[in-house]
Structure 1
Amino acid sequence: MTQQKLEKKPISFSNILLGAGLNLAEVTTLGQPLEVIKTTMAANRSLSLLQSAKLVWSRGGLFGFYQGLIPWAWIEASTKGAVLLFVSAEAEYQFKKVGASNFVSGIGGGIVGGVAQAYLTMGFCTCMKTVEITRSKQAAVEGAVQQTSLQVFKDIYKKEGIKGINKGVNAVAIRQMTNWGSRFGFSRLAEDLIKKATGKKEDDKLGALEKIAASAIGGGLSAWNQPIEVVRVEMQSKTNDPNRPKNLSVVGAAKYIYQHNGLSGLYRGVAPRIGLGIWQTIFMVGFGDMARQAVAKLTGETPVAKH
């Protein structure tokens, strides 16, 4: 049997635009509300899902669920999507070039893309979103004014510099590399199982609903790394706790959470996290194929595809 020649698809502007557009759509729909509930539960580990939702609602009704969306989530979404598709496609090609299987190449591409996301675009954005969601209201003192996002940003930068703005970026990197490595890897496994169940050949394409189902499975299973997310939130949180050590590292934050909340504390917020993982993966993997076709018709070029 003749081995298919491995060709590298050209990197195009539409590929970068598509990644940014998909992430903006994802975060503006269900993405940010799920992120807010997940972060609230991770920061306030005694609260249930319903209690966390009520707390978020008390901070501004429906708008409370979109806290941190503008500008931080939009800045993050518009940059991290482009970075993910750009870097992960290149990394996957390099893995295939040295003989790795599609499954291993998918995991490798997801890991490299996730790490690039964290250090290039996500560090300060996740920090500011978490600050917005977790900071306590100003003391009920007459004349006290609630700080805006930019005022909080300036205060952190003035006190702690660039390190303060990027606090927790190492935990973000660990989360993203495990996130997208798992999502792409599990999605590929799910696609293979769906093909076998429906009698499709290895080179056959999945239908839209089959692609979405595989993406949902991949996104849901990727929530196994929720302890990393709880650690990240704790490192970036502005919740007042005089007993919490200052300048927590990844390991130090994990120990602090375990000592005060046990093993279950490390899995707080896993339910909305599963929902968020499914929603994000459906957008970036499932809807990605449909969007690529639409972009190709508009621009005359097909963006680099991972699936």
Structure 2
Amino acid sequence: HFPLAIHTLHSWTRKVPSLVEICLMHPLDVVKTRFQIQRGKTDPTGYKSLGDCFRTIFQREGLFGFYKGIFPPILAETPKRAVKFFTFEQYKKLLGYASLPPGLVFAVAGLGSGLTEAVVVNPFEVVKVTLQANRNAFTEQPSSFVQARQIIKTDGLGFQGLNKGLTATLGRHGVFNMVYFGFYFNVKNILPVNKDPNLEFLRKFGIGLVSGTIASIINIPFDVAKSRIQGPQPVPGEIKYRTCFKTMATVYKEEGKIISFLPGGAVMLLVYEYVYAWLQDTVDHK
């Protein structure tokens, strides 16, 4: 039963740090979504700055306002991480049969894992963004399940309902993972390993932080488009933001700005690297 125990432990060790990451990063995700769905300086409901956004949410919606829509990411976390890393390894093995440079294999495998991950998480993202855009007090907004049922009842399961914004989500996750995995593993293999465990930790953390930052910057347009498509439309009953690239063009033409937040990736990849290495070493010794 040892392989089964290792597999269970592997899944558990991935999930716990991810749940901690969600709890720590979700307030920033709420603020990010609020900024992405507001329509420039002329938006009467817009926020003047990040400080104003934090302050307004806290004053009007309370501390729990920063945790609106947290349940869908928690529900999606286990399948999301499993799909991301499992498919990354599988795509990497398949690409090993092709005559591709090793560096390109990591990037293409990351792209494939991101596209696959996007299909899994998009319905959860639709519910999450809808709840995060709700400016009522935390106790007054519907639960995740009620919100999901309402979306399905009103718009169905298709591209206007629970799978709204799928193309933008595919772009966001595909581009992010392509740059993320490609940059991380390529740079990690180039920079020499440090024998000091503390310095080695800092080496991997630094590479992960830079990878997440670069990937986030590059995928910002897709993230903004996703939030606009999945969030509330400017005029009730009229769909202004319908498709990914048209939404990008509209936002750029009308507002000329895009904003997002960077941080969560370094921690996730670092935990994955150390846990994966430990499990491999444990299995080898058995």
TM-score (norm 1): 0.76
Aligned to 2:26: 32
1:227 aligned residue (210, 221, 230): 221
1:50 maps onto 2:51 in alignment: yes
In the alignment, does 2:273 pair up with 1:289?
yes
In structure 2, distance between residues paired with 1:154 and 1:199:
52
Shift of 1:34: 2.1
Residues 1-307 of structure 1 mapped to structure 2, 5 A cutoff: 12=7, 15-29=10-24, 31-44=25-38, 45-46=40-41, 47=47, 48-70=49-71, 72-119=72-119, 121-137=120-136, 146-163=141-158, 164-192=161-189, 194-195=191-192, 207-222=200-215, 223-238=217-232, 240-242=234-236, 245-246=239-240, 248-261=242-255, 263-264=256-257, 267-268=258-259, 270=260, 273-275=261-263, 279-280=264-265, 282-293=266-277, 295=279, 300-301=282-283
CA separation of 1:296 and 1:191: change in aligned 2, threshold 3 A: closer
Q: Deviations over 1:34-54 (max 9, x none)?
A: 211211111124432222222
Instruction: Quote the RMSD (CA, aligned, Å).
Output: 2.8
Distance 1:105-1:284 versus aligned 2 partners, 3 A rule:
farther
Give deviations 1:78-133, integer Å, cap 9, x for gaps.
211010010001111222232323321111111111111011x2111111110011
CA contact (8 A) 1:157 1:165 kept: yes
Preserved CA contact (<8 Å) 2:76 2:124: yes
Higher relative contact order (CA 8 A, sep 6+): 1
Whether the 8 Å CA contact 1:15–1:85 is kept in 2: the answer is: no
Judge conservation of contact 1:16–1:86 (CA < 8 Å) in 2.
no
Q: Say whether the 8 Å CA contact 2:134–2:141 is kept in structure 1.
A: no
The residue type equivalent to 1:33 in the other structure is: P
Per the TM alignment, residue 296 of structure 1 is displaced from its structure 2 partner at its CA by: 5.8
For residues 56 and 100 of structure 1, the distance between their equivalents in structure 2, rounded to whole angstroms, comes to 49
SS at match of 1:207: helix
> How far did residue 242 of structure 1 move?
4.7
Tell me the distance in 2 between the aligned counterparts of 1:28 and 1:231.
Answer: 24
Aligned-partner SS, 2:96: helix
CA–CA separation in structure 2 for the residues paired with 1:228 and 1:88: 21
Distance 1:239 1:58 in 2: 25
Give yes or no for contact 2:226–2:244 (8 Å, CA) kept in 1: yes
**Secondary structure of the structure 1 residue equivalent to 2:232:** coil
Q: 1:251 to 1:123 in 2, by over 3 A?
A: same
Report the alpha carbon displacement of residue 189 of structure 1 after superposing the two structures with TM.
4.1
CA–CA distance in structure 2, aligned partners of residues 58 and 236 of structure 1: 26
| 2:30–2:66 CA contact under 8 A, matched in 1 | yes
Q: Sequence identity of aligned pairs in percent? A: 20
Amino acid in structure 2 at the alignment position of 1:194: L
3-state SS of 2:155 partner: helix
The residue aligned with 2:3 is none
Question: Per the alignment, in what secondary structure is the counterpart of residue 98 of structure 1?
Answer: coil
Distance 2:279 2:28 in 1: 28
AA aligned opposite 1:287: V
The answer on whether the counterparts of 2:26 and 2:67 sit within 8 Å (CA) in structure 1 is yes
TM-aligned CA deviation for residue 199 of structure 1: 9.0
**Aligned equivalents of 1:148, 1:290: Cα separation in 2:** 36
SS of residue in 2 equivalent to 1:233: helix
Q: 1:18 to 1:242 in 2, by over 3 A?
A: same
